Every structure is written in C-alpha cells, then in structure tokens.
Structure 1
Amino acid sequence: MTSERNRATPTPGRPALSETRRAATRREVAMVAAHLFAENGYTATTVDDIAAAAGMGLRTFYRYFPGKEDVVAPLLAIGAQAWADELAACPPAIPLREAIGRSYRTATATALAEEGIAESLLRPLLRAATELPALRATWLRVQQDCEAQLIPIIAARTGRSPDDLDVAIAAAMANTAVRLAVELWAEGAVPGSAADAVDSCLTRLAGQTLL
C-alpha cells in the first residue's frame, strides 16, 4: 500500500503528469489559433474555427481556455519563461544589462526553434496582441507575470533581497524596455530582429538621462 501511494504522489517541485499534458495541449491549441489568426485575422476567426482546427469540441476548448482572447497566452508566455530561465542561468560575472540582452536573444532563438514558430507568424501575432483591445489585456498580463519572474533572478544576481525596491524597479525597467522593443519590432518601426530591437532599447535605457 505504501509503495502504491508513493507512486501516485507527484514529486515535490515537479508538475503532475496531468498538468504537463494540459500545458502541452494548451500550447498546441494556441499554435493552431495563431496560424488561424495570421491567415484570417483575429476578428474573423471564431472559437468554433479554432476548436475544429484543433480537433476538439467546444466544451473541451472551454475547459482549457475561458475565451478566444486567452488562447494565445501560452505562446506569449513561452518567450517570457524562456527569457527568465536563460537569465537565471547566465554567468554571474556578466553585467546585468548585458546578461538581460544576451539571455533574451538566446531564449528567443531557442523558444522559436523548439516551438516551430517562424518570424512570419510571430510578427503578426505580436502585432495583434499589442493592438487589439481583447488581446492587449492578455499581453499585459503575460508581461506582468514576466516582471514578477525577473525580480528574484535580479535579486540573486545583485546579492539583494527580492523585497528591495531597487530590484523591483530594475525588473520593471528591464521588462518595460523589452516589451516596448518587441512592440516596436512587431509594428515594423525598427529594423532587424526582435532581439536586435531589445538590444537597442536596453542600450538606450542604460544611457537614460531624463530621470
């Protein structure tokens, strides 16, 4: 009895198999939706279209997502999580600003390759996420979550407490610089890749004299 109970208990710190499967399904449906949004536009794409393309019924769809505006959140969150992971793994000797830019570039390239997301799909998806009111709320929620992830990482790199106000400000400034860079890139307002735009904004942030 004890061995059976132990096998049924998830390992501490590791998501249960059902949670892993749920997250994988959410990413798969999000990818389907992203392609439909890119091809037909967000407004013209219905929940029925997404569910049908994903091979699931409407009731199943709503078990995974509250609504259409939430379906892209898993894709938007992938980049944020990958960035946080890369920044945490960046050697401590690298200055914070450089570490932020380097980790973002590595995380973006890795996440896009692993998820099979082409730039031709990423740009319109991000543009829709930043311009459409329904998706904008999801985009900003993901950004808020990302900022919260950065705080303990920056605290560890700088030897400060996560409750330190300077740490919170640094996380907010870094995340905002990256968000603005990505939004400008999605609009086509800056040349190069999204990572190039991030490097440019971080360089401007380092030399900011208005405050």
Structure 2
Amino acid sequence: MTSDRNRTAPAPGRPALSATRRAATRREVAMVAAHLFAENGYTATTVDDIAAAAGMGLRTFYRYFAGKEDVVAPLLAIGTQAWSDELASCPPELPLREALGHSYRTATAAALADEGIAESLLRPLLRAATELPALRATWLRVQHDCETRLIPIIAARTGRAPDDLDVALAAAMANTAVRLANELWATGNHSGSPADAVDACLARLAAHILL
C-alpha cells in the first residue's frame, strides 16, 4: 500500500491538473460568450444563451463564473498575463521602456494566435469592456491584477525593492498606458494594431516622465 506521504505531489510552481482544466474550460466558455456578444450584443445575450452554446447547464456555468459580466475575464486576462510573463523573460540589459513595448508586442501576438482570437472579435470585446459599466468593472479588475504582477518584475529589472514607490509608479503608468492604448484602438481612435497603439502611448509616456 502506498502512503499519502509517498504519493507524487505536483511540481512547485505548476498548477494542479484540476486547476489547469478549470482554466481551460473558463477560456472555452469565454470564447463562446465573446462570439455571442459580437453577434447579438452584450445586453441581448443571456446566461442561458451562453450556457446552451457552451453545452453546459446553468448550475455548471455558475460553478465557473459569478455572472455574465465575469465570463469574459479569462479572455481579457490572456494578453495581460502573457505580457507580464514575457516581460519577466526579457534580457535584463534591455532598457525598461524597450522591454515593455517589445514584450507586449511579442506576447500578445502569440497569445491571440494560440487562442484563435481575431481582431474582428477582439475589437468589439474591448469596446464593450470600455463602454458597458458591468464589463468595465471586470476590465479594470483584470488591469489591476496585471499591475500587481508587473511590480515585482519591474523591481527585479531595475534592482529596486518591490515596495519602492518609483517601482509602483512605473508599473501603474506602464499598465495605464497599455490600457488606454487598447481602449483607443477598440473605439477606432488609433490606426494600426493594438501593439502599435501601445508603442505610441509608451513613447509619449517616456518622453514626458521616466520610462
């Protein structure tokens, strides 16, 4: 008989299989919801519609999401999570301003391609997240989580402590520049790709502040 003590534990830093499956299911349902929102509008789409299209019951849906406003959070977070991961792996000799822009462009392009998210779906999703109060709360929560992840990464790159005020300010400003760039692009107020809009906002930030 094998004791509990001798059973193989998950490797440190790696999510348990159940957590991985849960995250994958959340992304799948989020994608279904995003398509419904793009086709029918957020207001006209119900939780019943999303659950039915995803092939799950309402009880199952609510095990994964708090409500309709929460269902797109996994998609909105894909780019921010990929960005922070890519920034952490950027060569340390790359200046912070360059590392921020390079990591965003590289990470989001790969993440969107991996998830099969086209700009024709991304734009209305981001526009809805910007304009609709219920979705904006989710969007801002995702951005806050991203800012929190940026702090230790920027601290490590600059050789400062994570509780250094300049580190917190740099993380907040960089994250806000990216958020505003995506919102401008979503509303059609910037030509090019979201990454082009991010480069433009980071350049303006660098010209006037400290990045």
Q: TM-score range by the shorter chain?
A: over 0.9
Query: 1:121 maps to what in 2?
Result: 121
- Normalized against structure 1, the TM-score is what? 0.96
Query: 2:140 maps to what in 1?
Result: 140
- Normalized against structure 2, the TM-score is what? 0.96
Aligned counterparts of 1:203 and 1:46: Cα–Cα separation in 2:
41
SS in 2 for 1:207: helix
Query: 1:62 maps to what in 2?
Result: 62
Q: 1:106-147: per-residue Cα shift (whole Å, max 9, x none)? A: 011000000000000000000001110000000000000000
For structure 2, list consecutive stretches of 5 or more residues without a partner in the other structure. none
Query: 1:96 maps to what in 2?
Result: 96
SS in 2 for 1:27: helix
For structure 1, list consecutive stretches of 5 or more residues without a partner in the other structure. none
Aligned counterparts of 2:106 and 2:86: Cα–Cα separation in 1:
7
For the pair 1:188 / 2:188, whether they are aligned, the reply is: yes
Q: Give the letter aligned to residue 151 of structure 1.
A: I
Aligned counterparts of 1:28 and 1:6: Cα–Cα separation in 2:
35
For the pair 1:153 / 2:162, whether they are aligned, the reply is: no
Deviation at 1:3, TM superposition (A): 5.7
Aligned counterparts of 1:30 and 1:47: Cα–Cα separation in 2:
12
Deviation at 1:208, TM superposition (A): 1.6
Aligned counterparts of 1:24 and 1:7: Cα–Cα separation in 2:
26
Residues 6/64 of structure 1: CA separation in 2 closer, same or farther (3 Å cut):
farther
Aligned counterparts of 1:160 and 1:122: Cα–Cα separation in 2:
36
SS in 1 for 2:208: coil
Aligned counterparts of 2:8 and 2:137: Cα–Cα separation in 1:
38
Aligned residues: 209
Aligned counterparts of 2:4 and 2:14: Cα–Cα separation in 1:
19
Poorly superposed stretches of 4+, deviation over 6 Å: none
The CA RMSD measured in Å over matched residues stands at 1.2
SS in 1 for 2:45: coil
For the pair 1:166 / 2:172, whether they are aligned, the reply is: no
Deviation at 1:7, TM superposition (A): 3.1
Deviation at 1:11, TM superposition (A): 2.7
Aligned counterparts of 2:18 and 2:186: Cα–Cα separation in 1:
35
